[in-house]
């Protein structure tokens, strides 16, 4: 049974449910505010660089808080009308002057949700600037706390500052006077400002233990609880250092699934898998027992029982309700799960209700191309181009379809327009480079591929495309170091080894060419094309 907020999340297509399991926690945290004229700020609108994409969660909050004033901010410009009660402002979550002006104009906020960059330094800075401005009893929620352990977001296992989990754990330890309660869940945390906040929503039976309880005793009492029941620790400030450290460890390791992504050898207490929530209010700590194994979108496991149940509930609701954004979100999820039949069913339902957004066309055309239904893809592309003649993604899709049809001249024109309109779209630029090569313009093709590699220097696929075009363009000597670099970083890349063999052959280095293709064959022994290439080289 989906709660009221989760139903709205599914209908509007926000990833706060499905990819994540946030909305049940939000409903428990914010349900008591539904009928009030709350002022809510969400950092991060979504949709990345596109002005007319994103806003799914803003629509959810708008409908959940029927009397609320909803504000979204994003570093990108957004052009969308979500109704009179929703405003979207452009600005950075770490721009002090911008935030101060926002609070003056739209605040003070009762609820602040950080779903922005997820970079640790940004999360900490935003909290330090915004939490003092909250209305009394207000709530500051930070999503995707797992990035505290992701190096590419500035995270680490030792939580060295600035680190979002480390910062909030330290607040949990000392509970400053302006923080009345901290509630920690998988991948998210809520901090309540002083001013009569609601107590934690504890649905299960509560068992109390004192601060002098040994850790083994705590573990035994917690293990004996039923699902949803609560272990209360009273007098936490008076607890010994060992017990406090253990509880703080649980505060961190509630994100155990994501810790394991980058640090699989990190020791995790078994209790973390059974800790559904952890609250501190005053001198009391509450440990809520439940299943804490739900995978996030960083490691989504579609065979997980709760994930399967959620997807089934989402499908049932959306096939009845027929909301475009929700159908597209679930179709993407089902496609990632490998359930192509359900993805196609959802997209057909979206078409049935008249879906016409760019997101719909991109998803539906991609599905047609994966099924090699080029005629169906082209029919959708013709409709899409009529509505969005300058959209770079749709132009890119059209160019790809033209390539499949052998219309290289037409593809060249379309892909050139796509690159002009979206110069930072690396994949489209690579497609354009390949089209240039096919119409015998190798120097221009190489220049476009070089630009793509400059824009995405860590992408081995783009480097291999550049190397391939260099070989075609008579510059095999430049391709060799590129391919050797790829193989040094990814020694099991058979395609790179095959390209390297081509480069060596073009340079007249037969022995090195044979050695490279033998490496490719060792990595992909079933590949008949590699075998034929090797035999031809050996024959000379």
- Assess if residue 67 is contained within a domain: yes
172-183 pLDDT, tens per residue?
999 999 999 999
In this structure, are 103 and 245 located in the same domain? no
In this structure, are 39 and 159 located in the same domain? yes
DSSP conformational letter for 170: H
Is residue 279 flagged as an active site residue? no
Query: What is the C-alpha to C-alpha distance for residues 285 and 244, in angstroms, rounded to an integer?
Result: 10
In this structure, are 143 and 263 located in the same domain? no
Give me the residue label for tokens 């405003």: 87
Query: What is the C-alpha to C-alpha distance for residues 460 and 464, in angstroms, rounded to an integer?
Result: 6
In this structure, are 47 and 120 located in the same domain? yes
In this structure, are 166 and 192 located in the same domain? yes
pLDDT given for residue 248 in this prediction:
97
In this structure, are 50 and 192 located in the same domain? yes
- Assess if residue 290 is contained within a domain: yes
DSSP of 353-408: TT--SHHHHHHHHHHHHHTT-HHHHHHHHHHHHHH-TT-HHHHHHHHHHHHHTT-H
In this structure, are 114 and 238 located in the same domain? no
Query: What is the C-alpha to C-alpha distance for residues 398 and 386, in angstroms, rounded to an integer?
Result: 12
pLDDT given for residue 403 in this prediction:
84
Contact 349, 322 (CB under 8 A): yes
In this structure, are 150 and 247 located in the same domain? no
DSSP of 230-278: EEEE-SGGGS-HHHHHHHHHHHHHTTHHHHHHH-TTS---GGGGGEEEE
Contact 287, 233 (CB under 8 A): yes
In this structure, are 58 and 155 located in the same domain? yes
Non-local (6+) Cβ contacts of 341 within 8 A are none
- Assess if residue 181 is contained within a domain: yes
pLDDT given for residue 198 in this prediction:
67
Give me the residue label for tokens 């120097």: 443
Q: Of 238, 262, 295, which residue is a domain's last?
A: 295
- Assess if residue 216 is contained within a domain: yes
Tokens describing residue 15: 């990833």
Query: What is the C-alpha to C-alpha distance for residues 370 and 373, in angstroms, rounded to an integer?
Result: 8
| Given the residues 20, 27, 118, 256, the one annotated as active site | 118
pLDDT given for residue 191 in this prediction:
97
Q: Of 260, 295, 330, which residue is a domain's last?
A: 295
In this structure, are 181 and 248 located in the same domain? no
Q: Of 254, 272, 295, which residue is a domain's last?
A: 295
Count: domains in the chain: 2
In this structure, are 212 and 192 located in the same domain? no
CATH number at residue 102: 3.40.50.150
- Assess if residue 45 is contained within a domain: yes
- Assess if residue 70 is contained within a domain: yes
- Assess if residue 253 is contained within a domain: yes
Contact 78, 51 (CB under 8 A): yes
Range of the domain at 162: 35-197
- Assess if residue 376 is contained within a domain: no
Q: Give the 3-state DSSP-derived string for 11-39, with helices as H, strands as E and coil as C.
A: HHCCCCECCCECHHHHHHHHHHHCCCCCE
Ranges of the chain with pLDDT below 50 = none
Global confidence as pTM = 0.85
In this structure, are 67 and 121 located in the same domain? yes
């Amino acid at each position: 049974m989906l709660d009221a907020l989760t139903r709205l999340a599914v209908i509007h297509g926000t990833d706060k449910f499905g990819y994540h399991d946030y909305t049940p926690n939000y409903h428990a945290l914010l349900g008591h505010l539904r009928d009030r004229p709350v002022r809510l700020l969400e950092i991060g609108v979504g949709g990345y660089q596109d002005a007319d994409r994103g806003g799914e969660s803003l629509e959810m909050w708008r409908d959940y808080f029927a009397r609320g004033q909803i504000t979204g901010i994003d570093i990108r410009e957004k052009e969308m009308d979500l109704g009179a009660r929703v405003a979207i402002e452009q600005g950075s979550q770490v721009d002090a002057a911008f935030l101060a002006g926002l609070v003056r104009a739209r605040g003070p906020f009762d609820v602040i949700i950080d779903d922005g960059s997820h970079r640790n330094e940004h999360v900490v800075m935003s909290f330090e600037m915004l939490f003092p401005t909250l209305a009394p009893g207000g709530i500051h929620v930070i999503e995707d706390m797992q990035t505290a352990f992701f190096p590419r977001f500035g995270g680490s296992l030792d939580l060295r500052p600035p680190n979002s989990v480390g910062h909030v754990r330290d607040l949990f330890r000392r509970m400053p006077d302006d923080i009345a309660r901290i509630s920690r869940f998988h991948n998210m945390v809520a901090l309540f400002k002083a001013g009569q906040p609601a107590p934690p929503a504890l649905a299960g039976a509560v068992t109390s233990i004192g601060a002098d309880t040994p850790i083994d005793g705590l573990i035994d009492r917690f293990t004996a609880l039923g699902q949803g029941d609560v272990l209360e620790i009273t007098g936490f400030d008076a607890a010994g250092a060992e017990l406090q450290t253990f509880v703080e460890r649980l505060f961190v390791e509630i994100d155990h699934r994501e810790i394991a992504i980058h640090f699989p050898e990190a020791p995790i207490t078994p209790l973390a898998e059974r800790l559904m929530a952890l609250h501190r209010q005053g001198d009391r700590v509450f440990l809520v027992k439940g299943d804490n194994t739900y995978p996030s979108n960083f490691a989504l496991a579609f065979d997980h029982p709760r994930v399967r149940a959620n997807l089934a509930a989402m499908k049932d609701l959306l096939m009845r309700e027929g909301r475009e954004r929700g159908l597209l979100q679930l179709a993407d999820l089902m496609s990632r799960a490998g359930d192509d039949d359900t993805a196609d069913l959802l997209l057909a339902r979206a078409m049935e209700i008249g879906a016409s957004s760019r997101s719909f066309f991109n998803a539906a055309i991609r599905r047609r191309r994966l099924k090699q239904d080029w005629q169906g893809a082209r029919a959708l592309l013709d409709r899409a181009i009529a509505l969005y003649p300058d959209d770079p993604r749709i132009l890119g899709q059209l160019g790809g379809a033209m390539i499949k049809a052998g219309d290289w001249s037409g593809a060249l024109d379309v892909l050139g327009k796509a690159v002009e309109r979206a110069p930072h779209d690396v994949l489209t630029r690579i497609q354009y480079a390949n089209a240039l090569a096919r119409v015998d313009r190798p120097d221009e093709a190489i220049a476009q591929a070089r630009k793509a590699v400059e824009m995405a220097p860590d992408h081995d696929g783009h480097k291999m495309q550049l190397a391939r075009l260099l070989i075609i363009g008579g510059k095999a000597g430049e391709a060799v170091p590129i391919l050797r670099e790829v193989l040094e970083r990814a020694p099991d890349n058979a395609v790179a080894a095959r390209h390297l063999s081509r480069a060596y052959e073009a340079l007249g280095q037969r022995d090195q060419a044979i050695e490279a293709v033998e490496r490719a064959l060792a990595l992909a022994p079933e590949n008949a094309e590699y075998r034929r290439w090797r035999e031809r080289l050996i024959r000379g």
